[in-house]
């Protein structure tokens, strides 16, 4: 029996959640693992729907891989799809933890407030257009597109009014193209004349550099939403919940180009949400990787800085706190084992493997790396990951993860250096060097002056001097992984740490010691830091220092006299008395 036979990564973790694409997927909601943090943040989102609240504009903040989108997907589904059976696992999780919100949540998904989810995705720079288009799309998906206010004719009339006010030359060009007056076309549009509307739509691209007419052009965002809320109430729907997924992309790409009107729109929309009643609820949730204040660059003009700080103050921030224990639970759920094969493996040789895992867990509990409550999850649930691999994977993912590479893609995707790829090599346990190798492409992209990129360069330089698949290469990668995380009070790159890892992986301790000795002796690839006994990667220039010193000494000996050298280096000259003191 091999690990490949016993371990099967959970495919439900394979791809990241896209709220827009995955909304309506019953399988995605059922697959959600309701950890402590999931229960907590789900309650934070839904509670302000259940009760009358003045904090309905929120900013959900968390790094890649934190599960932000998954929690929001579950919350939106609960608001729209009243099917209690779909949420049995979540309801049970609340009850197991003794949380009263479990009964409240069950009632909510049975007969609670019914809100229409409006999902904005992408990084378009036009905030106003994003809000209106997302509303129109949401109404269309719910077969309620007839509730979208403003007819095509009204939109065309607004364009003529704007042209007349701001762009009179465009009015003249339109009249030349149409062969009739703009006033005549407007009059016919007011009577909903189809031929007049078609004439306008046909001429529009020629007057606007090829753009296509959008009926929402010029509409007042908040007025449109309030109109829709009133119509939805007549349909038995209690409100609208707007989610801007990946709002950080908008900030990264458009903040410097955003106008004062954009900031004011977002601020006014947030205030409208906070003032909305319990019957016509309006919510706005922005999902970001960092706090809004972190995106406000000091290089922005003063008025923009003030405007966006005003926006920031209108949102209640929900920061997803770091809780590694939740990741251990999720990882354990992502690594599925064949129950029969797993139990058989644990019981081999009178339970030798089970005792070994308990012994490894006990070592790290005694060192304070894990508490006794999560030790079993880390050693047994996350197996075949070595406990230190699990520890470093979580923290490297927090520092480096992007959508295409997170701890979950490491576990569940295919490819080189993933869990699946490593299982193909039939190893006994997966060591931290595999995690470093997986995230190495992201390290390569780090800014060249950053500490992370410096560690990558040191590791790359050292790896050139050893065989790529050797134990020495794996040790270098493991030391680099520890340096990336840089929590030396928890995991220190000492000789004992390295020996423990690779002894647990099936290497003889003497073999590991010999590999470390070779690295220390071989051109100073790794050196022992005397102050704390840490093994550190050392930058080498390819120069033999002892030979260079000897060559330089010989050059000086031939070209310079000792007296000349002494005179050059002396700070002052000797002073001779001209007569005796009297």
415, two tokens: 């490819």
Say how many C-beta atoms besides its own lie within 10 A of residue 376's C-beta: 15
DSSP symbols for 350-376 = HHHHHHHHHHHHHHHHHTTSS-HHHHH
Distance between start and end Cα atoms, the chain: 103
Enter the pTM of the model: 0.70
Question: 2-16, 330-344, 397-411 — which is least confidently predicted?
Answer: 2-16
Closest CA to 140 of 176, 108, 116, 160: 116
User: What average pLDDT does range 318-346 have in this prediction?
Assistant: 84
pLDDT at 274 over 60: yes
Stretch 362-385: mean pLDDT: 91
Task: Say if residue 56's pLDDT is above 90.
Answer: yes
Residue 306's pLDDT is 77
Distance between CA 58 and CA 75 in Å, rounded? 14
Average pLDDT over residues 19-33: 85
Cα atoms in the Cβ-side hemisphere of radius 13 Å centred on 122: 12
pLDDT for 547: 66
Taking the CB of residue 84, how many other CB atoms lie within 10 A of it? 15
DSSP-H helix ranges across 491-544: 495-504, 509-521
Q: What is the pLDDT averaged over residues 65-80?
A: 89
Can you tell me the mean pLDDT for 52-75?
87
Per-residue pLDDT, averaged over 357-369, amounts to 93
The pLDDT tens digits for 153-165 are: 778 888 899 899 9
SS3 at position 127: helix
| pLDDT (0 to 100) of residue 47 | 93
- Residue where the block lists tokens 């031939």: 558
> In terms of pLDDT, which residue wins out, 124 or 421?
421
**pLDDT averaged over the chain?**
85
pLDDT per residue as tens digits for the range 280-289: 999 999 998 8
pLDDT at 14: 52
DSSP tag of 385: B
Tell me: cis bond preceding 123? Omega within 30 of 0 counts. no
- DSSP structure class, residue 576: -
Q: Report the pLDDT averaged over residues 528-548.
A: 72
Per-residue pLDDT, 477: 95
Which has more pLDDT, 493 or 333? 493
- Rounded average pLDDT over 481-489: 93
Label the pairing between strands 526-529 and 57-61.
unpaired
**For residues 268 and 221, what is the distance between their CA atoms, to the nearest angstrom?**
10
**Of the ranges 190-194, 289-293, 481-485, which one carries the lowest mean pLDDT score?**
190-194
pLDDT reported for residue 483: 94
pLDDT bracket for residue 253 (50, 70, 90):
confident
Tens digit of each residue's pLDDT (9 = 90 or more) over 217-248: 656 889 889 999 999 999 999 999 999 988 88
Q: Which two tokens stand for residue 79?
A: 């608001």
Q: What are phi and psi of 487, to 5 degrees?
A: -110, 70
For 301-330, give the DSSP string: -HHHHHHHHHHHTTSEEEE----HHHHHHH
pLDDT digits (tens, 9 = 90+) for 375-415: 999 999 999 999 999 999 988 988 886 656 777 788 877 87
Adjacency order of strands within the sheet including 57-61: 115-120, 239-244, 281-288, 57-61, 316-319
For residue 236, the model assigns a pLDDT of 92
Is pLDDT above 70 for 208?
Answer: yes
* Beta strands 57-61; 7-9: pairing state: unpaired
Give the per-residue pLDDT at 516: 92
Helix/strand/coil for 71: helix
Can you give the pLDDT at residue 99? 87
Burial class, 364, CB count within 10 angstroms (exposed 0-12 / middle 13-18 / buried 19+): buried
């Amino acid at each position: 029996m091999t690990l490949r036979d016993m371990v099967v990564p959970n495919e439900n973790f394979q791809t990241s959640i896209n709220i827009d694409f995955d909304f309506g997927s019953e399988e995605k909601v059922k697959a959600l693992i309701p950890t402590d943090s999931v229960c907590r943040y789900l309650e934070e989102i839904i509670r302000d729907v259940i009760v009358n609240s003045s904090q309905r504009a929120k900013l959900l903040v968390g790094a890649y891989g934190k599960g932000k989108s998954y929690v929001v997907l579950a919350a939106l589904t609960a608001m729209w799809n009243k099917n209690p059976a779909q949420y049995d696992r979540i309801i049970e999780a609340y009850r197991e933890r003794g949380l009263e919100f479990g009964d409240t949540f069950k009632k909510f998904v049975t007969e609670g407030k019914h809100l229409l989810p409006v999902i904005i995705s992408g990084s378009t720079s036009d905030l106003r257009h994003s809000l209106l288009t997302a509303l129109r799309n949401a109404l269309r998906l719910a077969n309620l597109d007839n509730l979208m206010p403003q007819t095509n004719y009204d939109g065309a009339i607004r364009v003529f009014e704007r042209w007349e006010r701001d762009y009179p030359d465009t009015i003249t060009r339109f009249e030349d193209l149409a062969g009739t007056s703009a006033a005549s076309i407007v009059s016919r549009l007011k009577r909903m004349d189809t031929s007049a509307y078609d004439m306008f739509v046909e001429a529009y691209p020629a007057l606007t550099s090829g753009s296509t007419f959008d009926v929402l052009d010029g509409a007042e965002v908040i007025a449109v939403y309030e109109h829709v809320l009133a119509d939805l109430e007549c349909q038995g729907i209690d409100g609208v919940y707007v989610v801007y997924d990946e709002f950080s992309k908008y900030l990264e790409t458009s903040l410097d180009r955003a106008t004062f009107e954009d900031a004011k729109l977002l601020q006014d929309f947030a205030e409208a949400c906070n003032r909305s009643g319990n019957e016509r609820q309006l919510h706005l949730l922005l999902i970001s990787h960092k706090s809004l204040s972190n995106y406000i660059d000091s290089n922005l003009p003063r008025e923009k800085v003030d405007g966006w700080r005003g926006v920031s103050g209108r949102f209640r921030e929900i920061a997803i706190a770091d809780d590694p224990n939740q990741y251990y639970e999720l990882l354990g759920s992502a690594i599925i084992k064949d129950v029969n094969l797993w139990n058989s493996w644990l019981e081999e040789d009178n339970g030798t493997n089970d005792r070994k895992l308990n012994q490894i867990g006990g070592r790290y509990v005694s060192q304070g790396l894990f508490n006794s409550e999560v030790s079993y999850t880390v050693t047994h649930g996350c197996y075949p990951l070595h406990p230190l691999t699990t520890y470093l994977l979580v923290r490297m993912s927090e520092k480096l993860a992007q959508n295409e590479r997170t701890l979950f893609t490491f576990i569940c995707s295919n490819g080189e250096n993933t869990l699946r790829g490593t299982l193909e090599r039939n190893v006994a346990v997966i060591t931290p060097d595999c995690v470093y190798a997986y995230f190495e492409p992201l390290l390569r992209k780090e800014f060249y002056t950053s500490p992370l990129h410096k560690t990558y360069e040191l590791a790359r330089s050292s790896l050139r001097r050893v065989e790529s698949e050797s134990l020495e290469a794996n040790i270098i990668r493991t030391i680099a992984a520890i340096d990336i995380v840089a929590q030396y009070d928890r995991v220190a790159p000492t000789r004992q740490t390295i020996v423990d890892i690779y002894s647990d992986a099936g290497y003889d301790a003497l073999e590991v010691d010999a590999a470390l000795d070779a690295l220390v002796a071989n051109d100073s690839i790794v050196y022992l830091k005397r102050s704390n006994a840490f093994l550190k990667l050392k930058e080498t220039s390819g120069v033999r220092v002892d030979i260079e010193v000897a060559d330089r000494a010989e050059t000086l000996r031939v070209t310079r006299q000792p007296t000349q050298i002494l005179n050059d280096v002396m700070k002052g000259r000797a002073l001779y008395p001209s007569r005796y003191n009297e």
